[in-house]
A and B are shown apart, each in its own frame.
Chain A
């Protein structure tokens, strides 16, 4: 029966991880990992998360009962306030429905399936940035959409190709779906400035496009949740209807607990009930209900002012260390006078940085220097630390000079 099932290609990032794990060289540096690491190179469970877990463990009423299909209110309500802001008109006007999901991927998929059923026109394509998170294309194609790209990364400057992006959004047919990274673009680290976001909103409005925000790094990018939500709030203020896929994997370090939400901002509050019924229906047919434990942790943190404040600090620690490593790497490359302009290392933001290294250079880094990063030249800045940043700079310098 299954004779005809072919071997599927292995996931590229996983392959990298396997190679990295197998490498026993003492100088080995893993810059492929998509999870925060401490300066000691270790995973970090946020202290505020441990606190919340202890509190939960002491609750005599704690249980493992099913959540409702919509999810844990402490999480979904807290997440709404976090993303849209406490004074959001959309929230006051009750124009937002939020459903808990299996982290960001689950939110992207629920949104993708919903849009396939209800998008207008029914042949609207989904536009993703070039490049984007590897799973975006797969998610939207699996949901049955045609996927197209809009220019995003300027491969010369390693900054935003704003002209290319706006041109592509203008040239697209009217009323397409456009996936936008709210902050800390994955994989490039290149974010539009507020002024550029306004331009993007202008063009999206002109062309009647539908924004689908992917927000996996709120608070993780600048350390400031309001700043990191700027783009989403701008679009909401402009009156867009939109979806936001939100993940607590990185900003709360909840990765494997799979904690996330999908938010739908609807123009007419009278339509929210219908939207929520459809999102619930399709989530029920995929997972029934979402995972309780991580939601309870996140909900506990979001709803307690003291814990919330501590969380801000923990996020500040992560984003702060990342920014410090960016400065450290840039400074060393400039000191070594490594050919090229390395200002992008610090103008880019978030967990990832597009170095501009070629696939051949990346291969050399792997084989000669035991440094692991993806072929597109993306490094996980989280993998840098005070113990390896000198070595990394030296290795990059070597491969760049060799051409």
Chain B
């Protein structure tokens, strides 16, 4: 009998609870101030437009909807990025699917028995996804429970100690579950160490735009690594949160190749990996995302809505911190507003939880 899922099991417990005061602070899906799911206006408009177009439901190519992956790549890497001309990108079953493709790719092509190093802590599903794709899983220190912030020294020390050419999993922004992100200066140091160790940077970006409210700012670390031109970069990209497309499973996996020829070889291998997993990805969410990203009015509206979501989260952080301080709590709650994104590492112990 398998154990209950660490995250989804909480929602199951929440559903079973009959107390009127119950609150679900578990699953990572945005809620409005009224506590309801939020379908973005830009998404609604895109979906209505698509329905009116009466499109067919033919299979997408293995690597997905080109209009979507092209726009997604630009969003992540920046419109003028040198990466775009040498990027092997495939649509994926959201972020999880992208991580799985990445894991499978690295298992096959990145030396014998490769190990991926995760920050401590990391998203509950990371280890399972990478193990099931055949990688070994290790860790590097990240979160400092004493400060409820980043333990940069320990992180750099651990990264320096890794075998040359290791796979380092980095949360691009809005670290899950801690909400603790490096500053730009800290990212520069991390980058130097990753480059010196000749490690591969595996970015997981599930919150672009959702962290600071600014999509370019949230992608800064990813783009800096690409601009550095030294560490190989691969990216898992999700539109679950920033477009609220959760269940439609919209994402991409990409590898920044050396040049266009390498990109073509990499793409050919990605197709081989994807075909037995699920043949081709779901069309509905990709069409919505493509519409939102490529129709200028929808894109503007979307960016505004992402900022609104991010601002509400920031506002809630401020409000929670303020109330805890008003209640006369002895300890510091600064971490609530220092941390960023959907999640906050409260510092509460398991018994308190």
Contact = CB atoms under 8 A, between A and B. Distances in A.
Interface of A: 1-11, 14, 35, 43-45, 49-50, 53-54, 57, 62-69, 102-103, 105-106, 109, 113, 135, 138-139, 141-142, 249, 253-258, 273-274, 277-278, 280-282, 284-294
A49 B47 CA distance: 16
Interface string B50-64: 010010111111100
Most chain-B Cβ atoms within 10 A of its Cβ — which of A8, A45, A102, A288? A288
B144 to A, nearest CB: 29
Contacts of A256: 57-60, 280, 282-284
B99 to A, nearest CB: 9
Contact of A287 (B27, B60, B96, B258): B96
A135 B2 contact: no
Interface string B184-207: 000000000000000010000000
A74 B119 CA distance: 39
Contacts of A4: 109
**Which of A63, A282, A290 has the most C-beta atoms of chain B within 10 angstroms of its own C-beta?**
A63
A287 B276 contact: no
Given A105-B277, A256-B58, A291-B285, 6 more contacts: A3-B258, A63-B37, A113-B132, A142-B276, A253-B57, A258-B281
A43 B265 CA distance: 32
Interface string B38-52: 010001000110010
Interface in B270-284: 271-272, 275-284
B93 A102 contact: yes
Contacts of B61: 14
Contacts of A44: 56
A291 B1 CA distance: 26
A294 B281 CA distance: 12
B39 A64 contact: yes
Contacts of A278: 2
B257 A2 contact: yes
Contacts of B335: none
Interface string B270-304: 01100111111111110000000000000000000
A220 to B, nearest CB: 15
B57 A291 contact: no
Contact of B268 (A10, A138, A257, A284): A10
A346 to B, nearest CB: 28
A291 B284 contact: yes
A285 B2 contact: no
Contacts of A253: 57
B129 A285 contact: yes
